[in-house]
Structure 1
């Protein structure tokens, strides 16, 4: 652990909290890309699979769980709680432009062929 890791984690956590508060207080998710939030969920889920196999520290585990819960909470708010305010036609983020190269790079450049 170093000060840069803690500062990065706290900045990221603050950004997620601000996003959730914005959605909750305005009762709207307009202007937020659901596609990018789904990509965040995919990344965090894949990246934090080691939660079930290895323990590093309480801080590490708590931050991983917090990021996962907050990301899925954002998706829940967007697709269920405030669904009527989500502007699907404005969400033009092209997921495939990131997903396809990422999957190809993950297959080609990896430490070993395991899901963890």
Structure 2
């Protein structure tokens, strides 16, 4: 009896799974480059990528709201990640009001409001299901180093020094706010669907935001870096965007792998995130 013929997607997935980590990293890098060129071809106004990133982040929050409202549990979610998210959104909202009031301000306001609602539900209504022992990254381990970094490396624009420091702080905070959530998933090893959808949405948002900055630099032939100021700030901004993307890339790989395999619950192997 002839064996069942594997689908091309299954063959590719099996081949990728067997590759050593260095090859997987190289493949991820090549796919990211190809995606950047594809986006550059089909998206004419690259500012729309940043709006899309904020919209995808907001969609991820909506997924959390649905989870909390229907399942009445916050198991698997990191309260500290939500609090860090609220901190950077609040900082960015203030900077947006005083420095560049536009559509991003409205998107950040809506996302901040829904994030605060999620925090309220986790702290009070659903606190019995909060996995406090798994959410074990002290929040000051993230806030204090980033606050000190923002005092040293911040924009050199004409804005007031307080506004420039806060601008830098929210950029750095956004890059690392997801760490407690990744730690919770690392501790549990099993990620239920709604939490997985939320974290994947964060990964997509980070990639779109990173693509926005990289393509803007290419389009302006490096002029954007000059507009951001001088010194360490311009390269650090790009580095922060890249860090955000790669922090979530590993999880997104296993998310896509699980979805392609028809699995609703994601089981993470040791060492992931």
TM-score (norm 1): 0.84
Query: 1:103 maps to which residue?
Result: 147
RMSD: 2.0
Distance in 2 (alpha carbons) for counterparts of 1:24 and 1:38: 19
Instruction: Answer with 96-105 or 21-30: which moved more.
Output: 96-105
Greater Cα offset, 67-76 or 88-97: 88-97
The 5 A counterparts of 1:67-106 are 67-106=111-150
1:15 to 2:50 alignment: no
Q: How many Å apart are 1:51 and its aligned residue?
A: 5.4
CA-CA distance at 1:85 after TM superposition: 1.3
Give distance in 2, aligned partners of 1:96 and 1:50: 22
CA contact (8 A) 2:93 2:105 kept: no
Higher relative contact order (CA 8 A, sep 6+): 1
Q: Whole-Å Cα distance in 2 between the matches of residues 65 and 38 of structure 1?
A: 15
Counterparts of 1:3 and 1:45, CA distance in 2: 22
**Superposed CA offset, 1:62-114 (max 9, x none):** 21210110110110110111121112122112323322220111111123521
- The partner residue of 1:114 within 162, 172, 181 is 162
User: In 2, distance between residues paired with 1:97 and 1:23?
Assistant: 28
Say which one has the larger Rg.
2
